[in-house]
Structure 1
Amino acid sequence: MSDASFAGALGAPGRGKGKSPVSFFEFWPGWLFYAPVVVYWVLKSLRYGSVTLPSLANPRIAAGGICGESKNEILNLAGPEARQWIANFVGLTTSGHRGGNDLALARNAMAETGLSYPVVAKPDMSCNGVGVRVVHNDAELADYLAAFPRATALQLQALIPYEGEAGIFYIRRPGEAQGRITSVTLKYAPIVTGDGKRSVRELIAADTRLNAVSALLLSKIGAKANTIPAPGERVRLVFVGNHCRGSTFKDGLDIVTPALTARIDEIMHDMPDVYFSRIDLRYDTLDALRDGRDFKIIEFNGSGSEATNIWDPAMTLGRAYTTQFFHYGESFQIGAEIRRRLGLKPVGLLKLAALWWHQKRLMAAYPAND
């Protein structure tokens, strides 16, 4: 199946004639793109009397998920209904010194949880896919663990075979019987299909979108760029579904149906006190996802979540900021309601800064991601 026909099977929108393969702001420096978001956050902080109020939007998650949250702790909030929709996982912590029994510990944890290779190894505290790697055997897992920081938590999770990837943003205010899906991002990994003649590098150059992000891809795949895939062989260039690593994001809000909303709402009602979250998942087909079936959740993100549909190449800058302001505005409103109802206090600014710094230091020490 060609890339185009495969994308069509998943329901990817076409790139229409004359459409740019990237939005003009997709690769702006972070400080430039997020400057208006920071201003908006400051204005909301003045209105509500707290710069960290969104930390209350998910009161059982550390700092509400603004930063420094534990992936394992969030998934462990799930009750029996939510758990059946979550990809099987196990958390563990590396030993305090090199040469410890990390591999044996990991293998025992996998056996107790019913995990088998391949699995996705990922840091317990991270973002943007940093440190995420697929491991296929003991040797690869041992290499990953040896490169991982000491006495640091990580997660091993089943590799879900579904090709489709999506991020679904869910919001429910305290006291509301039903939440709502406010954003859907359909993610398409960078893939080339061999013809037995051209190298991976040449296949990248022949694809408008992949050529536009070729600097990102070629720096990552190394010698693979010069290999010549067999006719019909599909080569996935990166594993992590992140637009800044070469994936294409498409706005998918039009796939939302009552059935999908009901399913996500059912799951989130079994995630205690999680009101504001982007749910990252893998799905079989878009028809199945619309029906609320045949998908597995990889992780739940908290108050630091971004509605990633803003990175659709067709997105306008105005719509991107409107989307950002709406979602972060909701996180302040939910935090304010929980403060009013329960009398809870948001995390202190110094503690939040310490969490951010701790996460930043860990991310710099993680193994390279796929």
Structure 2
Amino acid sequence: MSRPANMPPLEDVGPALSPFEFWPQGIFYAPMVAWWLLLAIRYGDPRYPFIANPGFPLGGFVGESKAAVLARFGPRARAATAPFVLLPAAPLSDRRDALARALAESRLRLPIVIKPDVGCRGAGVRRITTQDRIASVLALYPEEVPLLAQNWVSAPGEAGLFYARHPDERHGRLLSMTLKYFPRVTGDGRRSLRALIQTDRRARRLLHLYAPRLGERLDEVVPAGEEVVLTHIGAHAKGAIFRDGRPYLTEALGRRIDAIARDIDGFFVGRFDVRFHDFAALRRGEDLVVIEVNGAGGEATHIWDSRYTLARAWRDLARQYRLLFEIGRAQHRRGVPLPPAGEILRAWRREARLVSRYPWPD
């Protein structure tokens, strides 16, 4: 995996991990639950965020289908997105045949990435690089879970772009950019991969995240000069490194994302995950491929920069939740109905149950 051109260097300054980066979610988000209740009192209903994006199931806050989201894409948004094929819930043999047809018809090409249709934070994401790996990878997923097969975008750079548009406004804006770095070590011909990881002050503390993917390679000597990427998944919870990229936002990039966002039916707020080859071109609104769009549940992920303080992270999340309430209330005033509380609870439970059965991402 090469490095993106003109990407700001990853400076090894500040803490290797933020104090809260890997806290249990129930602890980190506890103050946000209290804030949500205050917002519910202020705005009149706790369910407004679940209709912030009327085109997405439950606004894309929880349990949304990736396929249902992608089905809302117009021609401009689809052209900017990596090609994909839905593999419905079905026996392994049927899904294997469906994927083989997509490859034979050139709708997809290897390598590809398999994503569960429901899930977040990189849960269950796997790559398939050769034909003989198709059956073994597909067999890792529960048959009742639809899967999304998508071309693997080889562009080495990745960013998360948080976007919002009020329903009363014609154009939206970018509020956040997160630069994602994929940790790697370089072999010296003497030490094992495990020993090399131990020399990195962040990676050595996250070995438990990398070990399931690296497996037996951990104890192999890495040839001199060979780089080993520890994770290909752009999720901090899977060991990627996040940096606050808001100083690099430009009007040109904002216009490009706004044009794509307005071509997604019923989408007003969420995060675009994009890949790119050249960071300078990305800032000009060029050279980007959308790999995923997250709805109301997609965070402005700059808060996971290890240099960020807990107080600032909570402040930024509080602002984001207030924005979701504002947009949701505006949608309701336009006639969008609020979902039953039971539907929200069932979606949360279903997502938690499914994610617990997904394979470890690679």
TM-score of the aligned structures, taking structure 2 as reference length: 0.95
- Quick check: 1:10 aligned with 2:7? yes
In structure 1, list runs of 5 or more residues that go unmatched: none
CA shift, 1:215, in A, is 3.5
Q: Secondary structure at the match of 2:356?
A: helix
Q: d(CA) in 2 for partners of 1:7 and 1:79?
A: 29
CA shift, 1:12, in A, is 3.3
Contact (CA 8 Å) 1:57, 1:334: kept in 2 or not?
yes
Show CA shifts across 1:225-280 (max 9, x none). Answer: 11222222111122222112211100001111111011011111111220011111
In structure 2, list runs of 5 or more residues that go unmatched: none
Partner of 1:25: 20
Partner of residue 272 from structure 1, selected from 248, 262, 265? 265
CA shift, 1:89, in A, is 0.6
Partner of residue 352 from structure 2, selected from 340, 357, 360? 360
Q: d(CA) in 2 for partners of 1:211 and 1:301?
A: 30
Q: Report the residue type matching 1:253 in the other structure.
A: R
Contact (CA 8 Å) 1:57, 1:64: kept in 2 or not?
yes
State how 1:52-91 maps to structure 2 within 5 Å. 52-91=47-86
CA shift, 1:42, in A, is 1.1
Q: Report the residue type matching 1:41 in the other structure.
A: W
Q: Report the residue type matching 1:368 in the other structure.
A: W
Contact (CA 8 Å) 2:4, 2:157: kept in 1 or not?
no
- Quick check: 1:34 aligned with 2:26? no
Q: Secondary structure at the match of 2:325?
A: helix
Contact (CA 8 Å) 1:250, 1:312: kept in 2 or not?
yes
Q: Secondary structure at the match of 2:281?
A: helix
Partner of residue 340 from structure 2, selected from 336, 339, 348? 348
Q: Report the residue type matching 1:114 in the other structure.
A: R
Contact (CA 8 Å) 2:10, 2:181: kept in 1 or not?
no
Contact (CA 8 Å) 1:51, 1:349: kept in 2 or not?
no
* Two-structure CA RMSD over aligned residues (Å): 1.8
Kindly tell me: are residues 7 and 259 of structure 1, through their superposed partners in 2, closer, same or farther at Cα, counting changes over 3 Å?
A: closer
State how 1:284-363 maps to structure 2 within 5 Å. 284-341=277-334, 343-363=335-355
CA shift, 1:335, in A, is 0.3
Kindly tell me: are residues 179 and 326 of structure 1, through their superposed partners in 2, closer, same or farther at Cα, counting changes over 3 Å?
A: same
Q: d(CA) in 1 for partners of 2:129 and 2:355?
A: 23
Partner of 1:125: 118
Partner of 1:48: 43
Partner of 2:144: 151
CA shift, 1:357, in A, is 1.2
TM-score of the aligned structures, taking structure 1 as reference length: 0.93
